[in-house]
Amino acid sequence: MRENYTLTRIYMDAALQAGARFELPKAQAHYLTNVLRLEVTDELRVFNGNDGEWRARVSDVSRKKTVIYIVDQLRAPQSCPDIWLCFAPVRKHRNAFILEKATELGVSLMQPVVTERTQHAKLRLDKMQSQIIEAAEQTERLDLPTLKETVNLDQMLHNWPDKRTLIFADEGEDAEPVMNVLKKLKGPAALLIGPEGGFTDRERSHLREQKFVKSVSLGPRILRADTAALSLLTLWQAMQGDW
Ligand code: SAM
């Protein structure tokens, strides 16, 4: 058990090194001083997604500002395994669930993808980013998953990177059991989950034509998109990731 587990942990988009001082953004200052009631000399942990985790100390608290300074490094940088989650956006609270659980499950990149039956294409990427940061703070990650700009399915397939397998969660009857595919999987991978209404026949055949696509079944029942995302990521982590 890491001895500093109990210290509050915050994300900061800043270069972290011993002796650096930062005036906290308003929201974080409020959280630390008014909610957690941290005072001068109290300690916390800070990470920025690249430089590992650092011990910090509150050096100045006033109505106007809260300043912390960086003391020393507690944990060296560490990245989660390379696994992408491509998902058709669904209704807001379920999207938030996907972002949170995928961050906890160690996804390295999230790609919202608009499909023909996507009903919630308008996304607040800034809001989604803060949901990801909140999940990363809680789950003790040292890196942050990358959140990409939304693309549509055909564009995504057209620009698909070499050597990366796209594992397509296909609710059609003839898809291969997921474990058979994961057992044989080699090299980098991405997972693809459809929207509430699923993929159209055109999309399914277009996906199946791609040589980098493997379509998999997640069992005999129809899962909600967020359940499918969580389940497929869990299986990938257990078979190919860092569990
Ligand atoms: N079209 C589905 C239906 O028949 O009602 C609903 C789609 S489901 C809510 C959302 C997505 O989750 C699907 O597009 C697929 O990517 C994934 N999914 C759900 N159940 C699945 C299963 N049993 N096997 C493979 N993928 C599944």
Which of 56, 75, 94 is the C-terminal boundary of a domain?
A: 75
Domain limits at 171? Answer: 83-240
Instruction: Tell whether the model's pLDDT for residue 241 goes beyond 60.
Output: yes
Both 54 and 16 in one domain: the answer is: yes
Q: How many domains does the chain have?
A: 2
Pocket test for ligand 1, best of 118, 223, 233 (most atoms within 8 A of CB): 223
Statement to judge: residues 165 and 103 lie in one domain: yes
- Tell me if 153 sits within 8 A of 113, measured CB to CB: yes
Within this chain, do residues 126 and 60 fall inside the same structural domain, yes or no? Answer: no
CA end-to-end span of the chain? 17
The pLDDT value recorded for residue 1 is: 42
- Kindly state whether residues 36 and 147 are assigned to the same domain: no
Judgement on whether residues 223 and 127 belong to the same structural domain of the protein = yes
Residues 236 and 159 in one domain: yes
**Are residues 64 and 123 located together in one domain of the fold?**
no
Q: What is the pLDDT of residues 50-96, one digit of tens each?
A: 999 999 999 999 888 999 999 999 999 999 999 999 999 999 899 99
Compute, in angstroms, the gap from residue 223 CA to the centroid of ligand 1. Answer: 6
Same domain, yes or no: 123 and 214: yes
Q: Is the CB of 223 under 6 A from ligand 1?
A: yes
The CATH number of the domain holding residue 88 is 3.40.1280.10
Do 59 and 153 belong together in one domain? no
Please give the distance, rounded to the nearest whole angstrom, from the Cα atom of residue 88 to the centre of ligand 1.
11
Neighbours of 74 (CB within 10 A): 18
- Dmax of the chain from CA atoms? 64
Is the confidence at residue 175, as pLDDT, over 60?
yes
Give strand ranges (E) for the chain. Answer: 9-11, 21-23, 43-47, 53-61, 66-75, 83-87, 109-114, 146-147, 151-152, 165-169, 176-177, 189-193, 213-217
Verify that 22 and 107 share a domain, yes or no.
no
Q: Are residues 90 and 209 in the same domain?
A: yes
pTM metric for this prediction: 0.94
Same domain, 129 and 223: yes
Q: Report the alpha-carbon distance of residue 222 to residue 182 in Å, rounded.
A: 20
With a cut of 50, say whether residue 161 has pLDDT above it: yes
* CATH number for position 13: 2.40.240.20
114 bridge partner residues: 152
Rounded Cα distance, 57 and 67, in Å: 9
Residue that is last in its domain, among 42, 75, 108: 75
- Pocket lining: 218 vs ligand 1, CB cutoff 6 Å: yes
60-70 per-residue burial string, b: 16 or more CB within 10 A, e: under 16 = ebeeeebbbeb
CA distance 229 to 168: 11
